[in-house]
Amino acid sequence: MTSPSDAASPWPCLREERKAGASRAILDVSVSPNAKRTEIVGWHDGALRLRLAAPPVDGAANEALRKWLAQQLGLPQSHIELLRGASGRRKQWAIDTEAADVAAWLARQAALRN
């Protein structure tokens, strides 16, 4: 059975999912493809807003985003799974790490500071 974490995340785009004794971070992302470079630009409707330097053709943007997230978080790409939004701008990613690790990464992002 899947259940959210008891503690609410200070990040609207992030939650923790617990399943069968393990936990993983769930990250909501809003993507603008075909950008000059991949970067975080802020928020969009509760999701992390990213510009992505990849075209939205044949899954290239999804794979580029998976690779970028893995590099940013210091994880293997196999630890990052696209749950929803394969063909849309709004995506949901499952990341096989503690939500606290993803929250710490978000806290280091200059574009997200008030």
**Predicted TM-score (pTM) above 0.85:** yes
Domains recognised in the chain with CATH numbers: 23-112 (3.30.1200.10)
pLDDT confidence of residue 9: 62
Q: What is the CA radius of gyration of the chain?
A: 13
Q: Let me know: does 35 contact 49? Beta carbons within 8 Å.
A: no
Q: What is the pLDDT along the chain (114 residues), one digit of tens a residue?
A: 344 444 456 899 999 999 888 899 999 999 999 999 999 999 999 999 999 999 999 899 999 999 999 999 999 999 999 999 999 999 999 999 999 999 999 999 999 986
pLDDT confidence of residue 114: 64
